Chains A and B, each alone.
Chain A
Amino acid sequence: MDACSNGFSCNATETDPHQGPPRLASCGHPQTGVTSSSYRELRALISARGSSQGITIGSLHPPQAAAAAEDYGVDAPSAAGDRLLLAACDAPEDREGAFLCLRCHVSHPLEQKICGLYGQFGDYYGLDEIELASFALDDDGRPLDPARLRGQPTAAITPFTAQVICSYDPSRGAGLPHWARTRLQAHNDLKVYLKEHGLLLISDWALLADTSSRRIRGAWEVFGGGSLTADRAVRLHGAYLAAYPAAKAEHRRRSRRSSGWQPDAAFLHAIAPEQPAATTSEQLEAMARTVRLVLTQQWQRSRQADGEQADALEVPDPRTLQDLSEQPEHSPADQLTLIHAALERALEAVMPAVLAPAASDPQLHCLWQGYGEGLTNTPLAERCGCSRGTVSKKLRPEQHASTIARQAAGELLRQPAFSALGGSVEDLERMVEALRNHLLIPEREGDIAPLRRWVHQHLPVS
């Protein structure tokens, strides 16, 4: 084991300086892949030789946690053990030890969620695993007094494990591990970080509010289980939907914020008075999980389709503008001349402002340069050192092509040869789509699409 700088024994992840930065090998046990929890082992960011950032996710074993676990007779984490330790946190003697045990305990589900995020999105969206972990695994294992921490505003409590425990309300029905994940889901800084990378953290409660009864039934029938039937799930969800708007409105009125609402015991009892609030909470969370699984499948399918499309070679389509020029009263050659002229003017009007920021942004310049040379998303990402998600987000060629096409179409509609197209939805949309496709797709095999060619010719020097 590698002794860490803070004096605790710790397990660093396996590092090999010859292999580059270590992978996130700390998500669960390397051998079994099963993540365990513990009152003695704290998952945290620790220093590690060989890692490019000097830190990695590893384990700390604070002696005070081990001693407290021994004193309270708690071994493997359990709901009963949590209750015992929570009560001990309010006692005058050795509450720091009990508190530390709980901090160890919640660090594991926090790591699981971080690993889940990184595993699902890290590669495509360019997430940094250490940066992700820093939002949740910032506990260094030193003893802390929970009574003193509780005197602070909850959002200001650090480390995050301590914030989780200090904000925990057992009466809501959720267990401590689930509360840890819920709290991380509402972490404002994590939300900001993920949004910058094109991802949204959405709570189970918001997800359920956005879900139709049809989707609930479909999700439960495929992924649900236990004693809750699909019919019962739909009824419970219906009661939740009926009560949610008023509860959310009250939350907004009191806090002047949209985020942060959690169902309390009164809400849970109101929607299902025949069963304990904890049961209702578990059932709702289970339903949210099945919806997430359905959306996972949809997302995986759409990602596969997007990936195939983004990396597909552009197939020439010489007919894109020819369709527009088949107006019988006007010469096709004249019409094509008008179309090309309008497109050229629209490109001149739109693209300089789009490309201007590239002069002072090296990565953006790299991306546009590669785009102009004909690179697709994957090689672009590799060349410019970013994720494919960043390529899509920063370039947005389809959006720019739509703007250019619309501008060109506006000019063409003022010409007698094309004016009639403005009187029909189908004709207008076909025209704009043809112009857009012409910009994005080459006319002949081996050609470069006009938008790419324009970028290549006009990209300002960085």
Chain B
Amino acid sequence: MTTSPASPVPIEPLEAFPLPPGAIVLPPPLWQQVQEDGERELRRLALAALRQAMDERELHLPLGPETDPTDPSRLLALNRFAVQLAVTGMLSDEVAVPAAPWRDAATAPQLLLVAAIDPENGVVGVPGVLTASEVIAAVGDGDQRAERLVLPISAFKGGIERLFTLTALLDPAALPRQALRQQPARPAVRVRDWLEGLLPPALGDLGAELVPVTAGAFRQGGATADSLAPGALAVLSIPLGLTTAGTLVTGDAAQACLERFRLLLIPTAQPPSAATAPATDAAERLTLQLVGELEGDLLPDGLLLSASQGSRRSSVSSANSTQLELELPAAPDLIEVTLTPPDGTPLVLPPLQLPAG
């Protein structure tokens, strides 16, 4: 028996998994013998499931292409609609969608269909379908130059019924083809440069100030850099303000706001202890602090400070708070920091690079 903080009642690991609602169970001759290699086999099963689902509903929509339909690079043609079929595992929580079809608006898909497949049991689930505009919104500010777009399964809604409703009834012109926005890649900011007193332009544009520890203690209401975070090697401070309209502004614009606060980015070393050697000057962590302009000031409620680093995600929000803090270790993955006001556009910092060692 196992318990968790969210589940004080003992729980046992699932021994089996319920078929998802609406899952299509294929007859054994279709799946017991593998007929194609790799992803082609999964697509073959997905297409068989689509046909079976249409038969069950007496829905006779033309489904193509007729030539090489299991080719993963080909879009499906379902009743005049261009549909990208992405396949994933039955229990997957995300799907990796090939991004190539989304580069050219003239030939981009109109719909993205995801099929969750269990080839060992011959079962195909359809979590849902997204329109092109919904795909673009789901990708958001993610890396649109990646070869594959990783989307959470939870983003897909409506199941196979939504696919059939849209393709059977909608005017194809109502689903325009759209390409992903071609945003230039944002160069990563090297945190270790701060220790040399180098303020990156991307952060300087936000009005950031940089105070290396060696240049003197950073003073904020009497606090020193080391008292802000143990082992602090430098402090990069971004002045922020919240306008009356709820917009987040930085730098000089923040000075005109009634609500003013600072985002502190503090690379820290491992602080010394009695049992270990004295601290080195190598940055081993990055501490993020959101504080009021003056010590003890309350932050506006509803601010969300979040950071992601590879698979690690953490966030904290303000509610009657004087400080928000997150800490991330030095690691190969870039650090993405976002500050989101209650009803406004988030501030996304350029990616931060703090590798270990």
Q: Which residues of A contact B (CB under 8 A)?
A: 113, 116-117, 119-121, 125, 191, 194-195, 198-203, 206-207, 209-217, 222-223, 234, 245, 249, 252-253, 256-259, 289, 292-293, 295-297, 299-300, 350, 353, 399, 402-403, 406, 409-410, 413, 422-425, 428-429, 432
Contact = CB atoms under 8 A, between A and B. Distances in A.
Nearest to A433: B165
Contacts of A296: 11-14
A409 B173 contact: no
Interface in B3-51: 4-7, 11-19, 22, 25, 31-34, 37-38, 41
B12 A201 contact: no
A128 to B, nearest CB: 15
Given A257-B32, A350-B58, A425-B174, A198 B310 contact: no
Given A213-B311, A297-B4, A425 B175 contact: yes
Contacts of A289: 13
Contact of B169 (A212, A245, A256, A422): A422
Contact of A120 (B15, B58, B88, B175): B15
Interface string B55-75: 001110000000000000000
B162 A429 contact: yes
B131 interface: yes
A215 B120 CA distance: 22
Nearest to A117: B15
B19 A199 contact: yes
B311 A216 contact: yes
Contacts of B169: 406, 409-410, 413, 422, 428, 432
Contact of A213 (B164, B170, B310): B310
Interface residues of B, number: 56
B313 interface: yes
* In the complex, the 7 A-B pairs of residues with the closest C-beta atoms, listed nearest first: A210-B89, A292-B13, A213-B311, A259-B120, A258-B119, A210-B91, A199-B16
A258 B120 contact: yes
A427 to B, nearest CB: 9
Given A214-B311, A413-B169, A403 B57 contact: yes
A195 B15 contact: no
Contact of A195 (B14, B123, B311): B123
Interface of B: 2, 4-7, 11-19, 22, 25, 31-34, 37-38, 41, 57-59, 88-94, 118-121, 123, 131, 158, 161-162, 164-166, 168-171, 173-175, 310-313
B18 to A, nearest CB: 6
Contacts of A200: 16-19, 90, 118, 121, 123
Interface centre among A113, A222, A295, A399 (most CB of B within 10 A): A399
Contacts of A210: 88-93
A244 to B, nearest CB: 11
A121 to B, nearest CB: 6
B46 to A, nearest CB: 14
Given A200-B118, A422-B174, A253 B37 contact: yes
A23 to B, nearest CB: 18
B170 A422 contact: yes
A423 B161 contact: no
A140 B198 CA distance: 78
A336 B311 CA distance: 52
B19 A245 contact: no
